Structure 1
Amino acid sequence: MNPPSALSVSAVVSFLREVLEANEFFSDLWIQGEVSNYSRSQVGHRYFSLKDANAALRTVLFRDNMSGFQLKDGERVIAHGRITIYPQRGELQFVADFVRPEGVGILAAKFEELRLRLEAEGLFDPGRKRPLPRFPRTIGLVTSPTGAALQDIRNVLARRWPLATILLSPALVQGEQAAGQVTAALKRLAKEPALDLAIVARGGGSAEDLSAFNDERVARAIYGFPVPVVLGVGHETDVTIADLVADLRAPTPSAAAERAVPDAAQMEQALRSIDRQMASVARGALAEQAGRVESQLRRIQYAAPDPVGLAINVRSLVRDMQAGLERRCAADRARFENVAARIDSLNPMATLARGFAIVQKELSGKKPVVNSARKVKPGDRLSVSVADGAFWAEVS
């Protein structure tokens, strides 16, 4: 049997490092202790130990994390970060990304760490906050089904905007399971295609009671929600991470409902005022147009001709036209008779009627007129036309 081969130091250290970094517990730690052996490198990294009465843990805070924060030996702090192994020395090391004095409390420190991180990602950017719909028809509501916030919101919506439909997505809003349930409730509402906006609400309480709304999962669910989100959690002085991410923050659940919808009574008054204004404008416009019509009518009446005078003028024109037509017809008749007489005088039939005749020579289908004796010879066949007919003759 072959003896087991020896492992290199690098392999063992790398394996231990991988085991530590793969463990979720060691990747998200909050540690409190006293700062000792503090030093700062030329590039700005800060090195120190976190210790208590029984142990010490080497710690590094890189310059990109909290660059302006100052530390000193003997100060008690709360730090957030992850555990790893520094391979070059094989030492266990705590890589911190957030440090605060211990006096602020763990909840406040966690709040500040998450706030800074999400702010850097742009989740609180005012430019991404969406305006609320003016007349929402379907409103999603995430709150406890047994809390007073639900009834308060229903009362406000029924009074101010009864046209809206409320879709309740129930969730615990306090306790260890609250953050997960609020996140799941938001995800259920996000699937509603007709949703116009959502309200996330709960009543007042201590900082521990409101801790679900300082949870990163809730913050990201609000950030990624498809329609605007109004948050009404706690009292006016309570500010949570969810408040900073929401499109609109309200100090209480009732205030969230009031800000989410218009006031139907005010809308009715506004519509009545608009109606009166429109009626007044319409009456003024009609009066102005009526005045213009009357003015134009008077102008037309003044400019209209006298019918009696027109009738007299028309009859006079008719008489003048008749006389002119008669004169024109008489002149045309005289010219016609003169032309007819001239045409009659040129009519060959009239000449024939006076005893003349037209002599034509038959020649190959043609009939040339014979106007000289020299154009005929004995035996020629001639056609002789007189006033009442024609006959044949032969030259002998």
Structure 2
Amino acid sequence: MQQGDLHFDTRNDQKIFTVCEITAAIRDLLESEFFNVRIEGEISNTRKASSGHYYFTLKDEHAQIRCICFRQNAAYLKSKPVDGLKVLARGRVGVYEIRGDYQFYIESLEPQGIGALQLAFEQMKKKLAAEGLFDDERKRPLPFFPQRIGIVTSSTGAVISDMVRVMERRFQGLIISLYPVRVQGQGSIGDIVEALDYFSSSKSVDVVIIGRGGGSLEDLWTFNEEVVARSVARSAVPVISAVGHQTDFTITDFAADVRASTPSAAAEMVIRPKSDFEEIVQGFHHQIDQSMRFRIALWHRTLNQTGFEQAKSLLRSKFSASWQRCDEQGFCLRQAITRHFRNSEHSIRTAKDSLMSRDVRLSLARARSRLESLSNYLGPSIQRHFEKLGIVLDSLDRQRENLSPLNVLGRGYAIVHDDKGIVVRKSNQTTVGDSLQVRLHRGRLRVHVDESTSQ
């Protein structure tokens, strides 16, 4: 046939099918040929509808087929469909005409042992547990107040947005560092190990959350890999595993320091609400107030039980130490603030240099906003702290003045000593002719006893 001689058969006797007709014909053909068949395979992607019907996939190493087990048949199953379970299923092959999909309508299931992935999961779990990788002794507690939180997950999807929203609602101003990774498929294992090793070696965060949304056993398999589990276990900072839903378990969950049922639960677990910290600060303030009141009472009693010179020396030493401690606290506070701002400036410069190849304008804007918020918060807080310290010092100074024996002398009283320096409180401590010293509010007198009476 020469090029250009192509033509179409335009005979009018050839049957033309509609989509509905050809689909129905395929359905009738499949149902007549595969009415009562048995298929062996491994279950995956199991879902149970609210109606009670089960939807899942039967697969082997070369192919897969969609399956459905209606509620009336599922009620009599000895073993419910579970991901990773190898089964022998009996039923019929048909067509779901709305989508044009062929699928297997299951009437009974007979378990044939666990599937390959489930078997690999159990073997890996047993191996690492025997090495002590899951022991409670190596689990580390989460930091009480983490200011820098690292997250290892996908940069797209609901997981990262949900976690950030929960943490910012509980405590604003946290530094959240995302290391974006692929969470399934080719390259995901290397991405996750690289992210964990980065946070571990850089010590740039106080705690790390590794997580993703739910999925089938195959979808979550990256988190069952041995190299990922060992990377979690050797992390220098505590790791929270938040993979899948509450019913999903991975090897990473057992290797991590803490397991969270969902990514949102991990966000709630990593940081307490700001109100909790405010209550703790109020408790410390109450304890300090009670301690100061107790010490002042002790000083007052000591003053009443000692002589003038001892009381004066005691007051001088106590208040001198207090003033020095206040000065030292002021210096330490200024140094801490200076270090904090220097560290913040260094972190910003480092982040800017390392992220120049990416479009990080949004991240820098958020970091700048958090830094300004922190500065606005620290300024008034420091001012209030110094004002409180000034009030405490003024109160102590007034108490010192009120308790000073010199104020008593200023009201016309005097202190009498004999030649040995002993305070004379009664007339019978002297005899006629004794020489005495009289301490006045301003100056001293030397007097002689001419007469002594007991009244």
TM-score by length of 1: 0.49
TM-score by length of 2: 0.43
Q: If you compute each CA radius of gyration, which structure gives the higher value, 1 or 2?
A: 1
